[in-house]
Amino acid sequence: MTRRTFFAAAPFLAAAPNRAPALQESHFPDRLHQFVWRNWELVDIDRMARVVGCSPRDLLAVGQSMGLPPKPDVPAGQARRTYITVIRQNWHLLPEDQLIALLGWTGDKFAYTLKEDDFLDVKLGPKPDCPRVAYTGPSPQARRIRRILRQELGTRLRERGEPPLAFIERLSRSQVRASAPAGGLRMVYSYFALYGDPLAEPDLDPFPDGYLDKLAQVGVNAVWMQCVLRVLERSEERLANLAKLVERLGRTGMRLYLYLNEPRAMPEDFYRDRPHLKGAESRGLYAMCTSQPEVRQWITDSVARIFQRVPGLGGVFSITMSENFTHCFSKYKPESCPRCSKRKSWEVAGEVLEAIRAGVRRASPTADVIVWDWGWPDDLCHNLIPALPRDCKLMSVSEWSQPVERGGVKTRVGEYSISVVGPGPRATANWALARAAGVPALAKTQFNNTWELSAVPYIPVPHLIARHCANLGKAGVSGILASWTLGGYPSPNLEVAAETERVGPDRALELVAVRRYGRRRAPLVIEAWKEFSAAFEEFPYGVAIYTIPTQHGPANLLRPKPTGAASSMILFPQDDYRRWVGPYPPEVARDQFARLAARWERALEILRRALEDPHAEDLAIAEVCGLHFRSVANQIEFYLLRDRGAGWRKVVREELQLARRLFTLARRHSVIGYEASNHYYYRPLDLAEKILNCRQLLEEA
């Protein structure tokens, strides 16, 4: 299932009339113990106690009864950067009012976050019916948990390791090193920026100087952030913060671009005094109909105000179809609009793009206006691209529509992919249309990671990246957007991408390996990269990457009986394994992940020989990739065996071992399990919970 099809299903997901009951986690004595466990390292103890109506001392006793490590202090900065993890941990546990209290938010902030923080409401799925959690005291059954933790983790449970988000301080440190050269536009998203409203919290700097230095060293020369027009253009505080940020970035030679997806649909109340602006409906929201000139004028004026207030902006890029609900055609359902139902999609989308362009050009003759054809059907591409103004640029996802066959299953790329190297026929055709119109062509890529696996900062497959970059050079693209919200880590992949443009793929791999690991180790590192790249081409592309547990790996719990709970987008794989595999027979998907994992493990042994430090972050990142691939194969196998009624004990034992190993790596390296728009998919205690889950399965089988 692609991002587009997930959004098409979103009205059904959001409108479920009866809330399903919350899942019961029987490896805990009760829901209070589950609450304490899942929030132990994420939320301040005083706030936790207030939510369940007891003293902090009472909850500390519950944690101690289960053998949890000492309760850490939770800095305010951590809480403000991990709220999605907190919401996810408690979505199936707390009713909404208790969850809002746990966050320390207002109801309005909670509602805004669910809607505007990269479709968090869709990622979470419908809110289950959760009874209130109240303090009842430690349970005698907690002794069993304490015993299991001692047996399975021993002293590792109390090792401090790196606290959550420690990588931010590390990436923010300045260092001096020759920068890798950058040619055309090379843009990424911050590895740790808040997505929803970052300009409201400027002290949580998305682009510290040290981090910018490290991005420049790997060839990046631009960064981007989301912009919601109605929020930004009305807020002097946010505009002032944006101006300061752009000025500081400019001193480093880095440009900032705004991502626009406008005009955002509004609730029915918005149209009480302006009924003539009300357009098509989706998910209880109504488009601001852009067939009305005053809506387009508002877009132009708002964009112009931002660029006049912040003249140093590098430019904008825009999505006009199917991301948020914006104009009446944006969800392919204009029928409910009396005006747009009589028009063509390319007429409406073209007017939106021209309104954005006019606003930029009123303030800046040189800022980039990048038109992204994300979600455009063929007829829209063929009619709109030739009509684009020559002072715009067209961006296409490079690998989309590339055919691929793995495990005997033929599919086409419909999402971002590293395992399938582009460019594909769609991008090639659209770039040709753009060049014929005198419009420069840009490529949207993912050079660090994709939703194939986003729980690591990068997938160490530089040979695939170098091959893709060489292909883009032949295709004549003039710039690259190299990351969505995932993929902004200053990695060897990005460095290889920049060097390939300058010296070609083979020499680029050699230069980067020597620069990062030394001349003596470089040959083995390159050999390991080559094997990782070959292994990753076994990824069964076409599986439902938004639901299959590649992001969660061993942290995803095993269910001995079908739960009936549907997977949600990214955050809850559940046990919905037949949906995970997409067009693949489950046995074929299992075998492909097993084949990928086996070859990955052989490459990992080569990298271990190359790197003398067994605790090196690059080695940990590579190992975590393999653990996730192996776990996905295990989980599919477990459910196949579960449905046959027997034979799954060996799989559970292996999952327990994977969880134990990943616990150590996640405790030691704070980058593991993190992605900017989803925060932490798991923390070490989630892996310890998987151990409890596996032990219970083995003991009760």
**Structural domain for 268, as ranges:** 261-310+321-366
Note whether residue 603 is domain-resident.
no
- Mean pLDDT calculated for residue range 210-235: 94
Looking at the structure, do residues 2 and 115 belong to the same domain, yes or no?
yes
Question: What's the whole-number mean pLDDT along residues 394-406?
Answer: 97
User: What is the pLDDT averaged over residues 478-505?
Assistant: 96
The answer to whether the CB of 227 falls within 8 A of the CB of 260 is yes
527 — pLDDT class (breaks 50, 70, 90): very high
Asked whether the beta carbons of 279 and 340 are under 8 A apart, the reply is yes
Question: In this structure, is residue 294 part of a structural domain?
Answer: yes
- Mean pLDDT of all residues in the chain? 94
Q: Which of 681, 650, 589, 663 is nearest to 623 (CA)?
A: 663
Q: Are residues 150 and 267 in the same domain?
A: no
* CA of residue 60 relative to chain centroid, distance: 33
The whole-number pLDDT of residue 613 equals 85
Q: Model confidence at 614, in pLDDT bands (50, 70, 90)? A: confident
Q: Are residues 265 and 127 part of one domain? A: no
Domain count, the chain: 2
Is 589 contained in some domain?
no
Task: Specify the pLDDT at position 2.
Answer: 60
Structure confidence by residue, pLDDT tens digits, 76-102:
999 999 999 999 999 999 999 999 999
**Nearest C-alpha neighbor of 157 from the set 626, 655, 691:** 691
For 322-374, what is each residue's pLDDT tens digit? 778 999 999 888 999 999 999 999 999 999 999 999 999 999 999 999 999 99
Domain assignment present for residue 687? The answer is: no
Is residue 353 domain-resident?
Answer: yes
Asked whether residue 131 is domain-assigned, the answer is yes
- Tell me: do 151 and 296 sit in the same domain: no
The whole-number pLDDT of residue 544 equals: 95
The model's pTM: 0.95
Domain end point (choices 302, 334, 366): 366
* Arithmetic mean of pLDDT, 413-427: 96
Let me know whether 19 and 150 are in one domain: yes
Same domain, 142 and 282: no
Same-domain pairing of 148 and 12: yes
Q: What are phi and psi of 295, to 5 degrees?
A: -70, -45
Q: Which residue carries 């919905």 as its tokens?
A: 576
**What does the pLDDT average to over 134-144?**
96
Q: Among 160, 184, 214, which residue terminates a domain?
A: 160
Q: What DSSP string describes 480-492? A: EE--SSS--S--H
Q: Among the three residues 95, 126, 160, which one is the final residue of a domain in this structure?
A: 160
3-state secondary structure of 82: coil
Would you say residue 197 lies in a domain? Answer: no
Q: Which pLDDT value is given to residue 615?
A: 81
Give a yes or no: residue 43 inside a domain. Answer: yes
Q: What is the mean pLDDT of residues 672-684?
A: 97
Residues 152 and 267 in one domain: no
